[in-house]
């Protein structure tokens, strides 16, 4: 068990503070300080120094090293989080993003002196366009949700340019929460479309909702139950017949690299999650990058600026009168773009195809090994992930959350739980292609053990986790009496 | 392939277990007519050594702040990043962890975010800070939307000194909910308070000021606060947190919501991102905050622990009625900032600010003494950045100084035509007196 | 008329952590949302059983939302509404009728 031999470490950095200690190193002033201060109105200057900690450099290094040891990461644990694509994050990508020419490059460096960065961006956009079958790609969105926003605003601008006023966006009931949140933010009414029990779009329900007031249909492919939507071409055609645009949430792109492409399926817009499919690290919740690809008819509406190539010179084009405007403070999360570029260059076409093949194989293998022990939400074969249900375990008083907590004790991070919302007691498992058969077997053995424990020894499940730095936490208390910052004890 | 562990033998055994003849058999649901019938047209795969050579080649064509002396600012600054930061954030347990939805296995991330929220609240003088937004621009946009929802009003007044790119992002975010943006000019480098007085009224959800503003000038936040509050509007202040060791906390001057670009707190320049969107507010806005929040609680044994809390605000629960669509944030950049603030500490952050302030003052005096060169806004106080009026076109001067590996600053023409003869110069604690003197000498030659 | 949520509803929600209610003097409309009740991981609209004016709001709920779980029919009440049409009473179920309805639904 990973933490048994660790003494409990319960400090916050503020609690290590001792007046007079320091961890910083700064040059002595070589110009006068006080004269400069006198030129600023006294009321603008801070009266009391901010109560930041006073610690030594070793305090800092040891504190954060010990905090890190309280996390599970891909580097330390199998991380089968469905819909999140927690695959190995190659170290060479980290090195490349840290090359001074990228990591230490100011965003407002004149274009003639940033040709390498602009060239990389231009090439990456081209590669993503090829992978997705789209005509143009903007690298600007900072994450999937911002990519969605760019996409939905482009759709809105497209309809407006044609003199059409459409007020609704259709979203399946199995969708990621960002889809309805984004469409609402973009000023649309969100209409839910029903799914079949296996997570496919109910095409009749979709058809019922389609009409002259519908701007777009947003859908994840493969869907959030891990299945490829068999009627997808019919769906995109029906939407187009009603003048609606079709948006693909690219969260599950890892399943279809080199197999099929959003553009060929009839989609008008799709976003990419570089922190999922293209191995940039999740970093405990971000940063990510959410480039967005479009077909030619939406290209005039791309966010500004667009990276351009004119002969051998790269630049930023701001003169795009139909653009939806700007989304990122500068040009996008370029540090993430460098990592994704390095990954695609490492893999090549054949490598990317092998990624999806193995992701699909691994998910089907896990599903097959577990189908006798847990209910399966949708019949296989699945794509890159499978959704199980702890419905059967629930009869013994064991919920999906209980299974998740017990897995932590058995040395695995948990699958996604309670998503998609249309599956009762959902456990969504995405093994990814970078895990070996041995790891998958160990995980399946643990899952089967928990299924047995549910029938024989519920108490060990309900007590879990016991090997983590803390046991189950009182979420209700955290929400009822929010304590959102540390304060010194009086 | 080194990232793909399944051997041919593994694949065979796994397919047998599944009961499929081949991987192709698993792809039956993908209709044949939309299958890609050719390999993707991508450049050939590279061995690691070849990849390094290719990316070094590209990196070598960029004027980075290691090989050049940089006076570039305009929303991103070359502050020094202490060595421990990159070592610590590179630990796989931080780097390769997901959003801390399973709190028992994520206490490291959660505890560090709780520290981050505490430090940002302290620096800004606010009650509560969230766990981060994408960047300063999206923080500003989301703060404006918070003010709109809190007041039920649909107009927002922006000071002319707000970063023009942040303003453009805010306009994009406001286009969906049809919030009207009004701009108040800053002819003398700071907000024209009389014009602001006329613009802010009973329809105004928020007045937005940035300090130091895009031109480097310090705004009178207290006066802006009085003006906003008299009309029942929210005061949103955009401030660079690295300056707040020396500059007064906006919360003490009357701000209701404080946002800012936190890149200066130990986050690499990276050609513009990923950066750190700071967002903090007074207590009464807590249920309107976008993004994640970490709270303290206890576990079954009564031990202190941390969880994501007040999640019903967020898209994964409230969906179309969420306070924002944000999901992924910039947790790792927030961790860089946390370690930065812990390293600099109470006195170090003051020193960083003092050094930048003093060197900027020295640089302004030296450069304004160059014949034909003058401060563009001589009456307005500034902090670490200032605008100069040049006797020759600034982009040509910049090109000329580039020959000496000096990034002289940012020509303002593309941001504001009225400032076509201006150059924005930023000075951090890293610039030395010698470098500033060299800039002055090179500038004198270039404009002579 | 005192308005709250049923024992069944509070059980479905789980630990109630926040209740958002209208102010005294506000009007509520039958079958329309008048407020929100939140648990850790769910949000539900509160629907008015009748049309009328809010004459009282439970002051305890702001600081102790958990009483909705502990005593939904007693201390966990939410509003007192003065019904515009007293006849609307007749369309409502008693808690016992409601439980019978749930029991049927379960089959």
Chain B residues with CB inside 8 Å of A104's CB? 64-66, 78, 268-269
Query: From CA A208, how far away is CA A174, in angstroms rounded?
Result: 18
CB-based contact, C17 to chain A, within 8 Å: yes
Peptide bond before residue B212 is cis, with ω within 30 degrees of 0: yes
Residues B142 and B126 in one domain: yes
Query: From CA A324, how far away is CA A299, in angstroms rounded?
Result: 11
Q: A interface mutation test: which of C12, C13, C15, C36 has the most A CBs within 10 A?
A: C15
Chain B residues with CB inside 8 Å of A256's CB? 30
Secondary structure class of A317 (helix, strand, coil): strand
Mean pLDDT of A88-116: 98
Q: B interface mutation test: which of A330, A362, A426, A464 has the most B CBs within 10 A?
A: A330
Domain coverage including residue B241: 84-338
Nearest alpha-carbon partner for B97 in B342, B332, B337: B332
What is the distance of C-alpha A133 from the center of its chain? 22
Q: What is the pLDDT of residue A7?
A: 56
Nearest alpha-carbon partner for A50 in B126, B276, B434, C64: B126
The first and second tokens of residue A325, run together, are: 């405007």
Contact A459, A453 (CB under 8 A): no
Contact B388, B376 (CB under 8 A): yes
Q: What's the length of chain C?
A: 107
Count the neighbouring beta carbons within 10 Å of the beta carbon of residue A34: 9
B164-175 and A144-161 helices cross at what angle (nearest 10)?
Answer: 70
CB-based contact, B331 to chain A, within 8 Å: yes
The three state secondary structure string of chain B is CCCCCCCHHHHHHHHHHHCCCCHHHHCCCCCHHHECCCCCCCCCCCCHHHHHHHHHHHHCCECCCCCCEECCCCCCCCCCCCHHHHHHHCCHHHHCCCCCCCHHHEHHHHHHHHHHHHHHHHHHCCCEECCCECCHHHHHHHHHHHHHHHHCCCEEEEECCCCHHHHHHHHHHHHCCCCEEEEECCCCCCCCHHHHHHHCCCCEEEEEEECCCCCCECCCHHHHHHHHHHCCCEEEEECCHHHHHCECCHHHHCCCEEEEECCCCCCCCHHHCCCCEEEEECHHHHHHCCCCCEEEEEECCCCEEEEECCHHHCHHHHHHHCCCCCCCCCHHHHHHHHHHHHHHHHHHHHHHHHHHHHHHHHHHHHHHCCCCCEECCCCCCECCEEEEECCCCHHHHHHHHHCCCEECCEECCCCCHHHCCEEEEECCCCCCHHHHHHHHHHHHHHHC
Mean pLDDT of A470-490: 93
The dihedral through the CA atoms of B65, B70, B72, B73 has a sign that is positive
Chain A residues with CB inside 8 Å of B103's CB? 470, 473
B-C C-beta contacts closer than 8 Å: 15
Does the pTM surpass 0.90? The reply is yes
Distances (CA, A) of A279 to A73, A275, B92, B169, B359: 14, 5, 14, 27, 41
Position C107 confidence tier, pLDDT thresholds 50, 70, 90: low
Q: C interface mutation test: which of B312, B313, B317 has the most C CBs within 10 A?
A: B312
Q: Is residue B166 part of a domain?
A: yes
- Residue pointed to by tokens 């563009």: B376
Residue in B closest to A349 by C-alpha? B40
CATH number at residue B367: 3.90.1150.10
- Count the domains in chain B: 2
Q: Which of A37-41, A119-123, C81-85 is the least confident region?
A: C81-85
Residues B216 and B354 in one domain: no
In the stretch 394-413 of chain B, residues with CB closer than 8 A to chain A read 395, 398-399, 402, 407, 410
The first and second tokens of residue C100, run together, are: 């019978």
Distances (CA, A) of A266 to A148, A154, A212, A238: 17, 17, 19, 10
Give phi and psi for B209, each to the nearest 5: -125, 150
Q: What is the pLDDT of residue A3?
A: 47
Q: A interface mutation test: which of C13, C16, C39, C40 has the most A CBs within 10 A?
A: C40
CATH number at residue B185: 3.40.640.10
The first and second tokens of residue B160, run together, are: 């002319």
In the stretch 114-173 of chain A, residues with CB closer than 8 A to chain B read 114-117, 119-120, 127, 130-131, 142-146, 148-149, 153, 156
User: Which helix or strand (DSSP H or E) is residue A10 part of?
Assistant: none
Q: What is the pLDDT of residue B439?
A: 98
Chain B residues with CB inside 8 Å of A63's CB? 342
Nearest alpha-carbon partner for A384 in A171, A221, A218: A221
What dotted CATH number matches A357-476?
Answer: 3.90.1150.10
pLDDT exceeds cutoff 50 at A4: no
- Nearest CB neighbour to C66, from listed A418, A475, A480: A480
Task: Provide ipTM, 2 decimals.
Answer: 0.98
Q: What is the pLDDT of residue C55?
A: 95
Chain C residues with CB inside 8 Å of B287's CB? 18
Position A199 confidence tier, pLDDT thresholds 50, 70, 90: confident
Q: A interface mutation test: which of B325, B347, B400 has the most A CBs within 10 A?
A: B325
Chain B residues with CB inside 8 Å of A415's CB? none
Residues B138 and B235 in one domain: yes
The pLDDT tens digits for A55-68 are 999 999 999 999 99
What is the residue extent of each domain of chain A? Answer: 13-68, 92-346, 357-476
Judged by CB atoms closer than 8 Å, whether chains meet at B99 and A282 is answered as yes
Helix/strand/coil percent split, chain A, to 5: 40, 15, 45
Query: From CA B371, how far away is CA A402, in angstroms rounded?
Result: 75
Residue B314 sits at the vertex; the CA angle it makes with B170 and C64, to the nearest 5 degrees, is 125
Residues B286 and B218 in one domain: yes
Contact B100, B308 (CB under 8 A): yes
Average pLDDT, chain C: 89
Domain C2-106 coded CATH 3.40.50.2000? no
The pLDDT tens digits for B320-367 are 999 999 999 999 999 999 999 999 999 999 999 999 999 999 999 999
CB-based contact, A336 to chain B, within 8 Å: yes
Chain B residues with CB inside 8 Å of C42's CB? 312, 317
Residues B305 and B321 in one domain: yes
CB-based contact, B9 to chain A, within 8 Å: no
Judged by CB atoms closer than 8 Å, whether chains meet at C17 and A479 is answered as yes
Peptide bond before residue A272 is cis, with ω within 30 degrees of 0: no
Chain A residues with CB inside 8 Å of B48's CB? 92, 346
The first and second tokens of residue B87, run together, are: 């070592």
Query: From CA B178, how far away is CA B160, in angstroms rounded?
Result: 21
Mean pLDDT of A369-395: 96
Average pLDDT, chain A: 96
Judged by CB atoms closer than 8 Å, whether chains meet at B330 and A352 is answered as no
Q: What is the pLDDT of residue C1?
A: 87
Contact B384, B356 (CB under 8 A): yes
Q: Is residue B372 part of a domain?
A: yes
CATH topology of domain A92-346: 3.40.640
Query: From CA A175, how far away is CA A376, in angstroms rounded?
Result: 19
Per-residue pLDDT of chain B (448 residues; tens, 9 = 90+): 899 999 999 999 999 999 999 999 999 999 999 999 999 999 999 999 999 999 999 999 999 999 999 999 999 999 999 999 999 999 999 999 999 999 999 999 999 999 999 999 999 999 999 999 999 999 999 999 999 999 999 999 999 999 999 999 999 999 999 999 999 999 999 999 999 999 999 999 999 999 999 999 999 999 999 999 999 999 999 999 999 999 999 999 999 999 999 999 999 999 999 999 999 999 999 999 999 999 999 999 999 999 999 999 999 989 999 999 999 999 999 999 999 999 999 999 999 999 999 999 999 999 999 999 999 999 999 999 999 999 999 999 999 999 999 999 999 999 999 999 999 999 999 999 999 999 999 999 999 9
Q: What is the pLDDT of residue A5?
A: 47
The pLDDT tens digits for A103-158 are 999 999 999 999 999 999 999 999 999 999 999 999 999 999 999 999 999 999 99
What is the distance of C-alpha C80 from the center of its chain? 10
Strands C52-57 and C79-83, sheet pairing: antiparallel
Secondary structure class of A412 (helix, strand, coil): strand
Give helix then strand counts, H and E, for chain C: 3, 7
Count the neighbouring beta carbons within 10 Å of the beta carbon of residue A456: 8
Residues B352 and B311 in one domain: no
Q: C interface mutation test: which of A404, A475, A479 has the most C CBs within 10 A?
A: A479
- Beta-sheet strands, E only, within A303-411: 306-310, 313-317, 375-376, 386-389
Mean pLDDT of A13-29: 97
In the stretch 3-22 of chain A, residues with CB closer than 8 A to chain B read 8, 10, 12-14, 17, 21-22
Residues B199 and B285 in one domain: yes
Chain C residues with CB inside 8 Å of A479's CB? 17-18, 38, 40
Q: Beta partners for B210?
A: B238
Position C101 confidence tier, pLDDT thresholds 50, 70, 90: confident
Residue in C closest to A418 by C-alpha? C41
Query: From CA B411, how far away is CA B418, in angstroms rounded?
Result: 12
Mean pLDDT of A255-264: 98
Chain A nearest CA to B442, separation (Å): 18
Position C104 confidence tier, pLDDT thresholds 50, 70, 90: confident
Chain B nearest CA to A229, separation (Å): 7
CB-based contact, C62 to chain B, within 8 Å: no
A-B C-beta contacts closer than 8 Å: 727
Judged by CB atoms closer than 8 Å, whether chains meet at A479 and C66 is answered as no
> What is the maximum span of chain B, computed from C-alpha positions, in angstroms?
83
The three state secondary structure string of A90-133 is CHHHHHHHCCHHHHCCCCCCCHHHEHHHHHHHHHHHHHHHHHHC
B227: left (phi over 0), alpha (psi -120 to 50) or beta: alpha
Chain A residues with CB inside 8 Å of C17's CB? 476, 479-480
Q: What is the pLDDT of residue C85?
A: 87
Radius of gyration of chain A (CA): 25
Judged by CB atoms closer than 8 Å, whether chains meet at A480 and C18 is answered as yes
Nearest alpha-carbon partner for A336 in A383, A277, A384: A277
């Amino acid at each position: 068990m990973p933490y048994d031999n660790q003494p409990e470490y319960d400090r916050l950095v503020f609690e290590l503070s001792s007046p007079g200690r320091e961890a910083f190193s700064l040059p002595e002033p070589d110009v006068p300080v006080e004269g400069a201060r006198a030129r600023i109105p006294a009321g603008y200057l801070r009266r009391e120094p901010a109560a930041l900690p006073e610690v030594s450099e070793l305090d800092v290094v040891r504190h954060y090293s010990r905090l890190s040891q309280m996390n599970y990461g891909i580097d330390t644990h199998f991380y089968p989080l469905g819909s999140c694509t927690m695959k190995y994050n190659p170290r060479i990508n980290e090195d490349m993003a840290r090359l001074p020419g990228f990591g230490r490059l100011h965003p407002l460096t004149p274009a003639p002196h940033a040709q390498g960065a602009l060239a990389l961006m231009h090439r990456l956009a081209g590669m993503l366009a090829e992978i997705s079958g789209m005509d143009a790609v903007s690298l600007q969105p900072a994450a999937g949700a911002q990519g969605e926003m760019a996409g939905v605003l482009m759709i809105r601008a497209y309809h407006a340019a044609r003199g059409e006023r459409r007020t609704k966006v259709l979203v399946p009931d199995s969708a990621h929460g960002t889809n309805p949140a984004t469409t609402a933010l973009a000023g649309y009414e969100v209409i839910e479309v029903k799914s079949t029990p296996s997570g496919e779009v109910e095409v009749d329900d979709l058809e019922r909702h389609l009409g002259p007031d519908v701007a777009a249909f947003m859908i994840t492919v493969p869907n959030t139950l891990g299945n490829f939507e068999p009627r997808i071409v019919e769906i995109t055609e029906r939407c187009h017949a009603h003048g609606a645009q079709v948006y693909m949430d690219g969260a599950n792109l890892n399943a279809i690299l080199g197999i099929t492409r959003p553009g060929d399926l009839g989609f008008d817009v799709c976003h990419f999650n570089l922190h999922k499919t293209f191995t940039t690290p999740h970093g405990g919740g971000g940063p990510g990058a959410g480039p967005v690809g479009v077909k030619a008819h939406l290209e005039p509406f791309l966010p500004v600026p667009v990276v351009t190539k004119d002969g051998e010179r790269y630049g930023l084009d701001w003169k795009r009168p139909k653009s939806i405007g700007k989304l990122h403070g500068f040009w996008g999360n370029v540090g993430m773009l460098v990592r994704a570029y390095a990954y695609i260059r490492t893999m090549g076409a054949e490598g990317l195809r092998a990624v999806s093949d193995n992701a699909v194989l691994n998910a089907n293998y896990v599903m097959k090994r577990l189908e006798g022990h847990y209910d399966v939400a949708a019949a296989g074969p699945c794509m890159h992930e499978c959704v199980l249900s702890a419905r059967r375990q629930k009869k013994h008083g064991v919920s999906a959350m209980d299974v998740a907590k017990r897995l932590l004790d058995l040395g695995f991070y948990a699958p996604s739980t309670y998503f998609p919302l249309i599956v009762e007691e959902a456990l969504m498992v995405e093994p990814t292609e970078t895990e070996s058969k041995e790891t998958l077997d160990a995980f399946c053995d643990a899952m089967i053990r928990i299924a047995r424990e549910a029938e024989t020894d519920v108490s060990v499940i309900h007590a879990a986790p016991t090997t983590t730095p803390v046991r189950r936490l009182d979420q209700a208390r955290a929400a009822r009496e929010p304590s959102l910052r540390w304060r010194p004890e009086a | 392939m080194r990232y793909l562990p399944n051997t041919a033998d593994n694949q065979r055994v796994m397919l047998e277990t599944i009961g499929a003849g081949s991987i192709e058999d698993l792809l039956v649901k993908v209709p044949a007519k939309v299958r890609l019938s050719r390999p993707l047209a991508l450049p050939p795969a590279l061995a690691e050594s070849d990849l390094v050579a290719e990316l070094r080649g590209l990196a070598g064509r960029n004027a980075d702040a290691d090989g050049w002396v940089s006076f570039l600012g305009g929303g991103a600054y070359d502050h020094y990043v202490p060595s421990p930061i990159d070592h610590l954030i590179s630990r796989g347990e931080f780097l390769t962890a997901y959003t801390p939805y399973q709190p028992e296995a994520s206490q490291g991330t959660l505890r560090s975010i709780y520290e981050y929220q505490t430090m940002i609240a302290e620096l800004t003088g606010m009650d509560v800070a969230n766990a981060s937004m994408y960047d300063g621009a999206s923080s500003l946009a989301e703060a404006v939307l918070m003010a709109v929802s809190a007041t039920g009003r649909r107009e927002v007044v922006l000071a002319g000194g707000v970063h023009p790119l942040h303003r453009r992002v805010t306009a994009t975010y406001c286009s969906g909910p049809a919030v009207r943006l009004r701009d108040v000019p800053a002819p003398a480098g700071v907000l024209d308070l009389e014009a602001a007085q006329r613009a802010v009224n009973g329809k105004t959800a928020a007045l937005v000021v940035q300090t130091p503003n895009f031109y480097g000038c310090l705004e009178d936040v207290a006066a802006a606060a009085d003006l906003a509050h008299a009309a029942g509007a929210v005061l949103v202040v955009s401030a660079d947190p690295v300056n707040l060791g020396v500059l007064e906390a906006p919360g003490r001057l009357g701000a209701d919501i404080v946002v800012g670009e936190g890149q200066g707190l130990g986050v690499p320049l990276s050609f513009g991102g990923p950066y750190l969107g700071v967002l903090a507010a007074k207590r009464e806005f807590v249920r309107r905050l976008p993004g994640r929040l970490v709270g303290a609680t206890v576990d079954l044994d009564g031990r202190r622990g941390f969880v994501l809390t007040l999640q019903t605000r967020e898209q994964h629960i409230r969906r179309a009625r969420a306070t924002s669509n944000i999901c992924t944030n910039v947790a790792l950049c927030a961790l860089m900032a946390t370690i930065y603030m812990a390293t600099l500490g109470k006195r170090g952050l003051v020193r960083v600010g003092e050094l930048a302030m003093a060197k900027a003052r020295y640089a302004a005096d030296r450069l304004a003494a160059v014949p034909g060169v003058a401060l563009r806004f001589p009456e307005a106080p500034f902090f670490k950045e200032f605008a100069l009026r040049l006797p020759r076109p600034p982009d040509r001067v910049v090109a000329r100084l580039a020959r000496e590996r000096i990034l002289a600053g940012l020509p303002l023409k593309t941001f504001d035509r009225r400032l076509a003869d201006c150059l924005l110069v930023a000075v951090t604690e890293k610039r030395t007196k010698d470098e500033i003197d060299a800039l002055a000498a090179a500038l004198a030659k270039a404009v002579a | 008329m005192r308005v709250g949520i049923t024992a069944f509803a509070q059980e479905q929600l789980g630990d109630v952590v926040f209740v958002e209610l209208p102010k005294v003097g506000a009007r509520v409309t039958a079958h329309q949302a008048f407020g929100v009740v939140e648990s850790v991981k769910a949000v539900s609209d509160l629907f008015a059983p009748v049309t009328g004016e809010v004459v009282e709001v439970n002051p305890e709920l702001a600081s102790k939302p958990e009483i909705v779980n502990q005593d939904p029919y007693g201390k966990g009440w939410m509003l007192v509404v003065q019904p515009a049409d007293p006849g609307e009473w007749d369309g409502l179920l008693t808690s016992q009728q409601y439980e019978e309805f749930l029991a049927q639904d379960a089959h």
